[in-house]
Amino acid sequence: MAFILRNEIPYDIFDYLELTSVLRRYANVRGKIRRLLADGEMIRIKKGLYTFPAGSRRFPLNPILVANRIYGPSYVSGDYALSHYGLIPERVEEVTSVTVGRPRLFRTPVGRFSYASRLGRVYPVGVALLETPEGNALIASPEKALYDKAADDPRFDGNGIPSYLWDDLRIDRDSVRRFSADTLAELALCARGRMKKLVNYLTEVADEQRR
C-alpha cells in the first residue's frame, strides 16, 4: 500500500484531501487511514497533514516547508532563519515562524514548530521565496529574521544595541555588513520605537561595507 501511495501522491507532505483522493476506492476511507497510520506506512504531522516515514520519502523532510504547511499564512523567521543563514552560531531545533494569526506551538512527530504573531504592514516586508524539490516555501530574509527575533525578544528594549547583537545573540557582524539596503529601508518605513532604533543601527553597520 505504501508503494501505491508513493506513486499516486506526488509530494512527501500531503493533506487529507490529497490522501482521500487516492483512497476513494475504499468503502471506509477513514478506517483505511487509521490502519495506514497504525502500520507506520505514513505519519500524521497534525490533523489533516501527513508525510511518509523517512525511508519512503523522495527527499529529506524540509522543516521550512513543513512549517509553512502546518499553520498559515506564515513564514519561517527568528532563530531558525538566523541559524539557516549562519548569522548565529547555534543550531536551532525548534522551527520558529511568524504569522498574521494568533501565536501557536505545535509538537509533532517531525519536530516543534512555533509561531509568533506579527500584524500590520511590516508583515510582508523582507519575506523571500525558498525553492525546494517539494515545492516553494516562505522564509524571512536575513534582515527580516533579525528584525522579527528582536521584536519578540523581551531582552531587547532598544538600548545597548551593539551588546545585544554581538554579545547576546552573537550575530555575525560581517553578515550584517552585507544586509540589503533596500530591505532595511523598507523596514525603516514600518518600524517604530525600539525597532526603529535597531533598523537605524543595522543600516549604519551595513553602510560600513559600502563606504
Alpha-carbon distances of 13 from 35, 37, 65, 172, rounded to whole Å = 18, 14, 9, 34
Describe the crossing of helices 193-210 and 181-190 by its angle, rounded to 10 degrees.
160
What is the pTM assigned to this prediction?
0.93
How high is the pLDDT of residue 88? 97
How high is the pLDDT of residue 7? 82
DSSP, collapsed to helix, strand or coil, labels residue 89 as coil
- As a whole number of angstroms, the distance between CA 51 and CA 62 comes to 11
- As a whole number of angstroms, the distance between CA 120 and CA 34 comes to 41
Element housing 140 (H / E): strand 135-140
What is the 8-class DSSP label of residue 15? E
Element housing 113 (H / E): strand 111-117
Question: Looking at 51-60, 162-171, 177-186, 197-206, which range is the least confident one?
Answer: 51-60
The stretch 137-146 carries a mean pLDDT of 98
- As a whole number of angstroms, the distance between CA 140 and CA 186 comes to 14
Confidence of residue 180 (pLDDT cuts 50, 70, 90): very high
What does the CA dihedral 201, 205, 210, 211 come to, rounded to 10 degrees?
90
pLDDT, tens digit (0-9, with 9 covering 90-100), for 101-115 = 999 999 999 999 999
Q: Which three cell numbers stand for residue 104?
A: 501557536
- As a whole number of angstroms, the distance between CA 7 and CA 53 comes to 15
Q: Which three cell numbers stand for residue 64?
A: 521550512
The answer to whether residue 3 scores a pLDDT higher than 80 is no
